[in-house]
Structure 1
């Protein structure tokens, strides 16, 4: 069976909805700005990629609002958008023939912080019963499956940024095993005081206060990334079944996927990102020369950027393939970041244009990477998306146009 993506719903700091996100991405619109969700004046981190202009009450029934974290509200609405995009709303279906697989990293941090504050300040009787699940990593999967009456294979993957690709690979497995449709993707909102404080010790965040220079992957001035909220949800189906039901469009095929794990630091082993890329290409039956663009992980720290540049050069050769990192406009969205890159890659295939990597002006690896710094027109048939998570997770996904 051939697994294809037929619907996309994007929540990004530079655009709500797939087409708005895509337009602003091609325009180079920066979604990074000062943190407004709380007073961050006492924090070393002053900037984030925030979602603006979203009122959950306009999109969800009132009963769901008190029992859901912000990231779950994003996920539910993005799923609605993706289902509508796929033309799959209102259809009769076997509930056990449709599944849900999501990625998560932070969980419902904001909801959890609010309830812990109630516990500390007012006592246990003031803690919401919804705290029992609203904070949990698997809650998006559960809420989507309940709301959409999808009782087939379900699950959650927690491998930080890499999880956004790992879960799409999992959705492909379900399709190959006979499930007709899987809702998949990742969504995050780690911008509460507790959530930001938990990320500062990683040593990977930029402390710059200028939105145009805070996050500069593959730049000589790189000193860390900017965190953000959002992600993307997608509809994965079997190609023949999608065509049979009259799917509104088919964005592309999930042609290849692979994951690797870096050895323990100090053990003498090397980075395993190149191995993940090569395995994903082999899974797709493609050579490196057949890839038209790479959507980079773009960690934004000198050491991690150098490792990624070395891996891409090893697989593709010096300047062997266009490389882009449109997440410079959104910040790193943890498990939501890679699904947004997948959405951008599918739209690049659809429209024949590679989105830009903004703000990078002093390239650190000009001899190794062909970094796309302005939108580049040209046919895109095959795209590679790579992602790395904290503590050694690597994932690679190959997307291909469907004839």
Structure 2
């Protein structure tokens, strides 16, 4: 069984739809701006990557809007986009052959905050019944499966940013167990007072007020990351099934995957991202020399950046492989970040061009990685490695390969 990706759907700060996102990434158009979803003037973090042109009333069936949170609204649209891109009509696929597995990080925080405020100010009778499900991590998975009649295995993975890769790997497992089509990926949306306060508790968010310098992974002045919202859904499909229905050439193959978990801080044991990389390459049956580009997790925190740079250079050699970090344009999107990196990596394979950071990006002199800066780098790309780490010690690595490689 070969797992291929046949459809993509994107709702991100960089654009709605894959081509709008891709055009913004190649142009280096940052979406980092002052938060507009609520008054953040009293918060230490006032910048984020928002999806500014998304109106749920225009994009989501009216009955579903009041029942679900902003993150699920974006989940609905990305799933519909991905299904349309894959040219799949769920009504034409046996319902038990279709599965859904998504990543979630914060859940429905905006919906939850609104209902909690009603509880405090007006009493329990004013809290809507949908509060019981709209906040829940599995809400998007459940709503997508119900909407499209997908009655095969369904699940959700909550490993923060790493969960976006873990969900796609779980989709591959579902195909191996008999599913034919899996909706996977993830979205996230936690730009509300409740959500931002929860994120601040990690101590990892940048408090710099300059949009051009607040999120600077792998630089000497890295001071944390900025939050973002949105993400992507992917159609992961059995290659034989895709061919039998005339799907055309898939975007790529899910060729390899591995996950590790870091030891507790202060234990004296090293982080395990390198192990995830090496195991993912082994799962794909390739060597480091076969990888054309790495899409970095790029957390923007000094210790995390050092650990990631050391892992990449240890596996591929000093400056041994081009490294891309497009999330500087969107902020760190948690459960939606890694799926969006998968989309960007697949478009890099499709078009043979690696997105770049700004020309003036000053990489830390101690990091021996080939961080792509200046103009996008045009080169043949057949194999891409996507990395993701989740708060608390989660690491994941996913190998994507052009079909027929």
TM-score, normalising length: structure 2: 0.98
Whole-angstrom distance in 2 between the partners of 1:94 and 1:381 = 33
Unaligned runs of 5+ in 1: none
Residues 137-156 of structure 1: CA distance to partner in whole angstroms, max 9, x if unpaired? Answer: 00000000000100001000
Corresponding position: 1:186 with 2:186: yes
Q: 1:367 to 1:57 in 2, by over 3 A?
A: closer
**Aligned-pair distance for 1:247?**
1.1
Superposed, 1:15-94 pairs within 5 Å as 15-89=15-89, 91-94=91-94
Superposed, 1:240-319 pairs within 5 Å as 240-319=240-319
Superposed, 1:336-375 pairs within 5 Å as 336-358=336-358, 361-365=361-365, 368-373=368-373, 374-375=375-376
Q: 1:217 to 1:251 in 2, by over 3 A?
A: same
**Aligned-pair distance for 1:397?**
0.1
**Aligned-pair distance for 1:366?**
6.6
**Aligned-pair distance for 1:212?**
0.9
SS in 1 for 2:63: helix
Q: 1:367 to 1:127 in 2, by over 3 A?
A: closer
Which residue of structure 2 aligns with residue 105 of structure 1? 105
Query: How many residues align structurally?
Result: 403
Which residue of structure 2 aligns with residue 155 of structure 1? 155
Residues 317-354 of structure 1: CA distance to partner in whole angstroms, max 9, x if unpaired? Answer: 10000001000000000011000000000000000000
Whole-angstrom distance in 1 between the partners of 2:88 and 2:62 = 24
Whole-angstrom distance in 2 between the partners of 1:297 and 1:90 = 33
Residues 149-188 of structure 1: CA distance to partner in whole angstroms, max 9, x if unpaired? Answer: 0000100000000000000000000111121000000100
RMSD: 1.0
**Aligned-pair distance for 1:93?**
1.6
Whole-angstrom distance in 1 between the partners of 2:81 and 2:365 = 39
Whole-angstrom distance in 2 between the partners of 1:390 and 1:236 = 26
Whole-angstrom distance in 2 between the partners of 1:99 and 1:276 = 26
Q: 1:358 to 1:231 in 2, by over 3 A?
A: farther
SS in 1 for 2:213: coil
Superposed, 1:114-263 pairs within 5 Å as 114-263=114-263
Instruction: Note if contact 2:90-2:149 (Cα within 8 Å) is conserved in structure 1.
Output: no
Instruction: Note if contact 1:219-1:360 (Cα within 8 Å) is conserved in structure 2.
Output: no
SS in 2 for 1:202: coil
TM-score, normalising length: structure 1: 0.98
**Aligned-pair distance for 1:358?**
3.6
Whole-angstrom distance in 1 between the partners of 2:247 and 2:59 = 24
Which residue of structure 2 aligns with residue 392 of structure 1? 393
Q: 1:365 to 1:97 in 2, by over 3 A?
A: farther
Whole-angstrom distance in 2 between the partners of 1:284 and 1:386 = 15
**Aligned-pair distance for 1:269?**
1.2
Instruction: Note if contact 1:185-1:232 (Cα within 8 Å) is conserved in structure 2.
Output: yes
Instruction: Note if contact 2:310-2:367 (Cα within 8 Å) is conserved in structure 1.
Output: no
SS in 2 for 1:63: coil
Whole-angstrom distance in 2 between the partners of 1:282 and 1:127 = 51
Once structures 1 and 2 are overlaid, which stretch shifts more, 84-93 or 109-118?
84-93
Whole-angstrom distance in 1 between the partners of 2:267 and 2:201 = 23
**Aligned-pair distance for 1:203?**
1.2
Whole-angstrom distance in 2 between the partners of 1:391 and 1:69 = 25
Whole-angstrom distance in 2 between the partners of 1:158 and 1:361 = 33
**Aligned-pair distance for 1:201?**
2.0
> Which stretches of structure 1, 4 residues or longer, exceed 2 Å deviation after superposition?
357-360
Whole-angstrom distance in 1 between the partners of 2:365 and 2:378 = 23
Which residue of structure 1 aligns with residue 330 of structure 2? 330
SS in 1 for 2:198: helix
Instruction: Note if contact 1:87-1:248 (Cα within 8 Å) is conserved in structure 2.
Output: no
Instruction: Note if contact 1:260-1:394 (Cα within 8 Å) is conserved in structure 2.
Output: yes
Whole-angstrom distance in 2 between the partners of 1:18 and 1:81 = 9
Whole-angstrom distance in 2 between the partners of 1:282 and 1:87 = 33
Residues 15-48 of structure 1: CA distance to partner in whole angstroms, max 9, x if unpaired? Answer: 1111100011000010110000010010000100
